[in-house]
Structure 1
Amino acid sequence: MVLSNAMKPKTTTILVDLGGIFMHPPVENKLQAHGSTLSLRRIMSTSDWMNYECGVLSEQECFAKLAEKYHFQASELADMIQKLRKTTTYDQAVASIFREIKRTGARIFLVSNISKEDYAALRDSWDETFWSIFDGVFTSFAMGVRKPSLRFYRHVLRATRAVPHRTFFIDDRPENVLAALSIGIRGTFETATLYRTLTNFIGDPVARGLAFLRRQNGIFPTTTQQNETIAENYAPLLILEVSLVNLKCPSRLWNFFSGDPKYTSDTYPDDLDTTSLGLLTVPPDPTIVHSVLDEMHDYIDEDGNVQIYFDHSRPRIDAVISLNVLTLFHKYGRSHEIPGTMEWIYHILLNRAYINGTRYYSNAEWFLYYVTRLLGVSNDSTLQERFEAPLRKRVAERVGADGDACCLGMRVLTCNYLGIENHPDRQKLADMQQEDGGWEASCMYMFPGADRKVGNRGTSSAFAVKALEDWAER
C-alpha cells in the first residue's frame, strides 16, 4: 500500500469497532438448551448480555440468568467463553491497514460493545503492536451505554473533541452505523474495500487525482469493456479541456482515431464531432476555424441538422454531436447559420429526449453537460435566457440518479456551473476514487455496430478532479 502525500488529517478521526472488524469469533457455536440448541449469537443479542456489556450485570450474574431463562448449564457457557478468549486472534491484515492510516496523522479510536472481562482477556493476550494503533479506547462497560445509543457517540465526540463531519465510523452492524450517521458522523459497515474507503476519507481527492494524472505523463489509453485498446483523439481532447494530456494536433480537420481505425471501415473519415472539440480545445488561427465552419455547411441535412462525418456516404446525426458543433458555431459568432440545429437541441432539452442517451453517447449527462459548454462560450443573451431555466430544471431532476464516474463527473460539473447544490453525487464521486488516486474507466461512448463500450481512466479522473475542484472553490 502506498500513501499519497495529499492527505489532510489535521482534524481527522477514525472510530472503529472491534468485533466483526478486527476479530471474527465463531458466534454460531451452539449450546445444548432443553432438547434444542442455542447459538452464541442469539445469547449475545439478549438484554441480559447487553446489560453485562454495560457493566450492569457481573459475568456470573449474566451467565446464571441466561442459563435459567434458556435451560442450559451456566458452566457450559463459561467454558465456551473461556475457550474463545484463549483462541481469538486479531486480523493482521486489517490491523496493518489501520497502521498505514495512522502514519498519515489521523487519530484512531477503538469503540466497542464489550464486557469488562472480555476486554481484560484481550488486553492480556494481544500484543502491544495491536493496541498501539489506537489513540484511545471507548468500551460499553466503562461508559455504561452501548452502541447504537446516541449517548455513546456523543460521549466519544465530546471526549475526543472530534468534529462529526471529519469523523469516520466503521462497524459491522448497519444499525450502529446508521445511528452514527444520524448525528453527522460519516461511516460504513462495508469492509471489502476498507483501505480505499479510509484513504478517500482522509485524503484530498483533488490533490490525489491530480497526482494520478501527472504520474501518467499525459498517456491515457482508451479501452473497451473487453480491455481492447483504441488509439483515438476524442478522450485526450476531453482530458485536455479540463486537465493535461499529450496530443498531436492536425492542421485542420480532426479524426476520431489517432491510430488505425477499429470496429469500423478500414478508411475512417474525419468527423464534425472530434473536429469541433479539437477546434474548441486547441484553437488554431481563426481563419482556419472559419474555413472549417464554411465546410460544415455542406453536411447539414434537410431538417437543418448537422451530420457526423465529412462524408456524404455516411448520413448520420447524433444530438450530442450536433450540440458540440453548435457550440463551435457559437464560439465564433455564427450560430445564426444553423438555426435548425439550435431548435432541435432546444426541443430535446424541453422534452427530455436525451434521457436514454444517444446512438454514440450512453447517458443523459453528456447532453446536459454539453449544454453548459454551449452556454459557457456563447455571448448570445437570448440563448442564455431561453436555455438556462429549462436546463436548471432538467439538471435538478438528475441529482442522485445512478451513474458511473464519468457520468457523475459531468453531472457535478453541470451542477457547479448552474449553482445547484449536489452533495449526494459529489460524495458518491469522491467515494469512487481508487487507491492510486484515479477513477476507474467508465463508458464514454459506444461503437453500436461492434457492440463496444469505450472508456478511459484519464477522462473519468479528469472530469472527477475538475468537478470536485470546482465545487471546493464555490
Structure 2
Amino acid sequence: MSRFKPPAANVSHIVFDLGGVFTEPPSNDVMLPTEDSSPVSVKRLTSTSTWMSYECGKLDEEECYQLLSHQHHLQDGDLSTAIQKGREASDYDHDLIASLWKLKQAAPGVRFIIASNISLPDYTALQERWGHPFWSLFDYAFPSCKVGVRKPSPRFYRHLLRNTGASPHQTVFVDDRPENVLAAAALGMRGVLFQDAGALSRSLWGLVGDAVERGRAYLTSNAGQHFSTIDGEVILENYSQLLILDTTGDSTLVELKRPQRFWNFFSGTPKYTTSEYPDDVDTTSLALASMPYSPEAVHSMLDEILDYVDEDGLVQLYLDKARPRVDAVICLNVLTLFCIHSRGYQLPETTAWIQDILLHRAYLNGTRYYPTAEWFLYYLSRLLVRTDDQTLRDRFQAPLKQRIKERIGAAGDALCLAMRLLVCSALGIANPRDVETLRAAQLEDGGWETSFMYRFPGMGKELGNRGVTTAFAVRALQEQAGLNAGAAVLGT
C-alpha cells in the first residue's frame, strides 16, 4: 500500500515574454552607419523613447523610422532594411514549445498568455511567420502595441489581469528582464526570471504539475527497473531497493529476493570490491525493518549481530571479523532495528557515540560510506520516529532539531534536500525554502536526477539511483505539504 497522496496545484495562468524567452538573441548586433561616421547599433535604437512609443502604438512604422533616422543621422532605408532582415531570420525555440504543449495537456485548466513589448508590424510579421503551431498554444496575447503601454508599467500588468480574470497569486510571470519580473512580483504574481529553456521547463512543471503525483507516476512506470549505477554502469544490489521499499511502503516498485537469513549488499555479481563479498548488518537491518519477518527470526539475527560489536561497543558493518569496518550511519541503522524490537539497551556505547557525533557536528563531512551530513541526520530522525523509547527521544530530539535548522538552505543534491525535508517533517518544522529548491529540480519525466548515495572508498567510486532519489523526494514533498495543511487547519 502506498503512502503517497498528492496535493493540489494552485497556478491558473502563466504569462510569457515573447522575444526574450522564445527566440535567441542575435549573436552580433547589427551596426548601422551614420552621416558623422559614428555607427549606432539596432539594439541601441530599439531602447530609445521613440521606439518605445512605436511599440505602444503611438507612432506608425514610417514615422518611427524617420524620427530615428533623423535623430541618429542614419542613411535612408538602412534601419528599415535591418529590421526586415531580422524579421525574416526570426524563429522560435521549437523544443521549448513542444515541452509547453506537453505541460498544457497535463494541466488543461492552466491558461497560457503572451505579454510582449512589440510593435504592430513586428507582431503581425511574427504571427504570419510562426503560424498555428506556435500561436495556438496561447489563450491570450497582450502585445504592447494593442495595450497602449509597455512593461514594466504597472498599467500593463493590471490590464492583463483585468482582461483575463487572473488572480495575481495564481499567476506565474516569465520574462528575461529583471525589471519586468520585479514589476509582476510587486503585484503578487510569481516571477520567474528566464535563463534557459531547460530550467524554465523544470520550473513550470514544478509549479503547475503535481510534483508528488508526477514523481509517483515515474516510480510506478519504472517499477522493477530502479537500478543503481556507477559511471553509467548498472550495479545490481539490494540496498537501494530496500531504501525505496522502506521509504514508500510499496513493494511493487522493487525487485527483491529474500535470502535464507542475512542480506548481502549485492544482488548480482559484486563490483568494485572483492569477488567474495560478505553479508552485512546495514542491508540486513534495512530489510528486517521494512519487510515482514517473524519475531523469532529477527531476534535470532539480532543475537548474532551482537557478536560483531567491537571492543569499543560499536557495531561493525560486515558479518566477517576479518573485515572490521565501522560507520556512524550504519550504526544508526542497526540501532534503529534494535530499538524497534526493544533491545536498544544492548548497544549503549553505540548510542553514546551517536550522541557525541550529533552534539559535536562530527557528521558534517559525511561518513566512510555515506557522502553527506543529511544521511546521518535522516537516519537519526528515522530512529526517533520508529522507537517507542521516550527516554531516547528526550535525549536526541532537541539537539537534532537544532542541528537540522542549521542545515536549512544549505547546498545539496535532490536526495540531500529530500532527506533534510524528511528530518524537518519528523520534527514538525516547515521548510519552504528547500521545498521550492527540490520541486524546481524535478525533471520533465517526473523523476529527479541520480544523486550519489553510497561510497566505495577502496575504489573511489560512488553509486547513485534515480529511483531512490525520486522516492525520497516524493515522500519529502508529501510530508511537508501535510505539515503545512495541518498548520492551516490549526490556524482556522
Is the structural similarity TM-score above 0.5? yes
Output the CA distance in 2 between the equivalents of 1:181 and 1:454.
41
Change (3 A) 1:127 1:7: farther
Q: Which amino acid aligns with 1:13?
A: H
1:447 corresponds, among 420, 435, 456, to: 456
Output the CA distance in 1 between the equivalents of 2:183 and 2:380.
41
Deviations 1:261-317 (A, max 9, x none): 121122111111111111111141112222222222222223222111112112221
Output the CA distance in 2 between the equivalents of 1:459 and 1:357.
18
1:272 corresponds, among 278, 281, 286, to: 281
Cα distance, 1:53 vs. partner? Answer: 2.1
Change (3 A) 1:128 1:276: closer
SS in 2 for 1:20: helix
Cα distance, 1:175 vs. partner? Answer: 3.7
SS in 1 for 2:380: helix
Matching residue of 2:437: 428
Alignment of 1:209 with 2:215, yes or no, is yes
- The answer as to whether partners of 1:181 and 1:187 remain within 8 angstroms in 2 is no
Cα distance, 1:135 vs. partner? Answer: 1.1
Q: Any residues of structure 2 matched to 1:164-175 within 5 Å, and which?
A: 164-175=168-179
Output the CA distance in 2 between the equivalents of 1:217 and 1:269.
28
Alignment of 1:187 with 2:192, yes or no, is yes
Q: Which amino acid aligns with 1:191?
A: D
Output the CA distance in 1 between the equivalents of 2:435 and 2:99.
26
Matching residue of 1:340: 349
Cα distance, 1:401 vs. partner? Answer: 1.2
Q: Which amino acid aligns with 1:122?
A: L
Matching residue of 2:406: 397
Output the CA distance in 2 between the equivalents of 1:99 and 1:222.
32
Q: Any residues of structure 2 matched to 1:110-121 within 5 Å, and which?
A: 110-121=114-125
Change (3 A) 1:47 1:418: farther
Matching residue of 1:145: 149
SS in 2 for 1:444: strand
Q: Which amino acid aligns with 1:238?
A: L
Cα distance, 1:373 vs. partner? Answer: 0.5
Output the CA distance in 2 between the equivalents of 1:125 and 1:278.
60
Output the CA distance in 2 between the equivalents of 1:14 and 1:355.
40
Cα distance, 1:211 vs. partner? Answer: 1.4
Cα distance, 1:178 vs. partner? Answer: 4.2
Alignment of 1:32 with 2:33, yes or no, is yes
SS in 2 for 1:127: helix
Q: Which amino acid aligns with 1:38?
A: V
Change (3 A) 1:51 1:419: farther
Q: Any residues of structure 2 matched to 1:377-396 within 5 Å, and which?
A: 377-396=386-405
1:357 corresponds, among 349, 366, 380, to: 366
Matching residue of 2:470: 461
Output the CA distance in 2 between the equivalents of 1:186 and 1:463.
28
Seq. identity, %:
51
Deviations 1:313-349 (A, max 9, x none): 1222111111111111111111111111111111111
Deviations 1:122-177 (A, max 9, x none): 34554344332221111223334322334433432333222344333332334433
Matching residue of 1:3: none
Cα distance, 1:88 vs. partner? Answer: 3.3
- The answer as to whether partners of 2:214 and 2:446 remain within 8 angstroms in 1 is yes
1:220 corresponds, among 226, 238, 244, to: 226
Q: Which amino acid aligns with 2:118?
A: I
Output the CA distance in 1 between the equivalents of 2:448 and 2:129.
41
Cα distance, 1:352 vs. partner? Answer: 0.9
Matching residue of 2:488: none
Cα distance, 1:9 vs. partner? Answer: 7.5
Q: Any residues of structure 2 matched to 1:240-389 within 5 Å, and which?
A: 240-243=245-248, 244=250, 245-389=254-398
- The answer as to whether partners of 1:12 and 1:167 remain within 8 angstroms in 2 is yes
- The answer as to whether partners of 1:14 and 1:169 remain within 8 angstroms in 2 is yes
Alignment of 1:41 with 2:43, yes or no, is yes
SS in 2 for 1:449: coil
Q: Which amino acid aligns with 1:107?
A: R
Output the CA distance in 2 between the equivalents of 1:315 and 1:178.
58
Matching residue of 2:18: 18
CA RMSD for the aligned pairs?
A: 2.5
1:158 corresponds, among 132, 152, 162, to: 162
Change (3 A) 1:17 1:454: same
Change (3 A) 1:419 1:156: farther
- The answer as to whether partners of 1:11 and 1:163 remain within 8 angstroms in 2 is no
- The answer as to whether partners of 1:13 and 1:166 remain within 8 angstroms in 2 is yes
SS in 2 for 1:294: helix
Matching residue of 1:235: 240
- The answer as to whether partners of 1:253 and 1:270 remain within 8 angstroms in 2 is yes
- The answer as to whether partners of 2:7 and 2:478 remain within 8 angstroms in 1 is no
Gaps of 5+ in 1: 1-5
Matching residue of 2:489: none
Superposed structure 1 runs of 4+ greater than 6 Å apart: 6-10
Change (3 A) 1:393 1:159: farther
Output the CA distance in 1 between the equivalents of 2:395 and 2:159.
54
| Matched positions, count | 468
Deviations 1:169-210 (A, max 9, x none): 332334433443453414240333154443333221111111
Q: Which amino acid aligns with 1:12?
A: S
Output the CA distance in 2 between the equivalents of 1:370 and 1:215.
28
